Amino acid sequence: MHPSPPLSPAAARRRAILLIVVAAALFSVAGACVKGVRDGLPLAEVVLGRNLFAVPVLLWLVRRDGGLAALATRNPGLHLIRMTTGLIGMAGAFYGYARLPLASVTALGFTMPLFLTLLSVPLLGESVGLRRGAAVLTGFGGVLLMALPGGALGGEGLAMLAVLAGALAWALSMITIRRMGAAGESNATIVLWFALGATLVSALFCLPVWQWPTGPQWALLVATGSVSALAQVMMTEAYRRGEASLLAPFEYSAILWTSLLGGVLWGELPDGWGLLGIAVLIGSGLYIWHREVTLGLKR
């Protein structure tokens, strides 16, 4: 049996784009599973299920990229920061899923690039020009539009703040990952430490609030973890095949998937100020991405 011929650059890009779109759809399905199970289980238990049932898929990825030798690290402190911020980000999003429309949580999650732009100044020593600064302010203006009476958030201020805090934590997590990458840590090492550490910590938080899930709840927990991990594998593979500057905008297709799922399953159809806020938020994120690509090419 002869090996498959290598893909042409154009075909590799098309496949990478397809992987990103499918990964965004799978992350949306995982979010719907969280929303479905959060009504009856404590937050800590849902976070545990997301991490625990992701481990088998991620172990396959790690096995492909070097095996358990990936546990060797010189940066345990950075892994601890990454695990802490990642868990806070996950908990913030999961809290929001139970109280806000699915698409609104996804849109608020896209404030992460806005926070990342702001934090890159004090933490990475980068400079933010007038255009990107204006885009950040515009993006947060979109969040305010979503929070208006009749907007996509429906007055759920606490849930909105929880999701925004989660997005801020994810931005800190991304900065930590950048630092670990600069220090020579492999993707497999970063993934494995987070998967195992987050499972252990979330299990400890479950002890005082544990409730035995029902059969359907177990199914949703398994789906949350395994589907999320599969989406993560596909996204990693996509960024291996294609340039980040090409693929990043396609992550915003998650808004379409979550809008569809939220509308079909829960009748969630934001209108008016909510739709305008989501559009402004996405537009500002895409503009920041455009400026990052432009400045990167100039450098």
Q: What is this structure's pTM?
A: 0.88
Classify residue 185: in a domain, yes or no.
yes
Is there a domain that residue 67 lies in? yes
d(CA 192, CA 62): 7
> 116 in a domain, yes or no?
yes
Cα(210)–Cα(203) distance, integer angstroms: 9
Q: Which residues contact 187 (CB under 8 A, 6 or more apart)?
A: 65, 236
Q: How many domains does the chain have?
A: 1
- Using CB atoms within 10 Å of the CB of residue 253, give its burial: 0 to 12 exposed, 13 to 18 middle, 19+ buried: middle
- The domain in which residue 259 lies consists of 15-137+155-266+280-298
- Residue 87 within any structural domain of the chain: yes
Spatial contact of 122 and 185, defined as CB atoms under 8 Å apart: no
- Per-residue buried b or exposed e for 119-158, using 16+ beta carbons within 10 Å of the residue's own CB: bbeeeeeeebeeebeebbebbbebbebbbeeebbbbebee
Residues whose CB falls within 8 Å of the CB of residue 35, separated by 6 or more in sequence, listed in order? 97, 98, 102, 266
- Spatial distance between the Cα atoms of 62 and 47, rounded to a whole number of angstroms: 21
> Which pLDDT value is given to residue 2?
47
Residue 10 lies inside a defined structural domain of this protein: no
The full DSSP string for 259-288 is HHHHHHHH-----THHHHHHHHHHHHHHHH
Cα–Cα distance for residue pair 132/99, rounded to 1 Å: 31
Question: Is 89 within 8 Å of 170 (Cβ atoms)?
Answer: yes
Helix (H, G, I), strand (E, B) or coil at 160: helix
Q: Establish if 117 belongs to a structural domain.
A: yes
> Which residues of the chain register pLDDT less than 50?
1-3, 297
The answer to whether position 62 is within a domain reads: yes
What pLDDT, on a 0 to 100 scale, did the predictor assign at position 266? 94
Domain-located, residue 161: yes
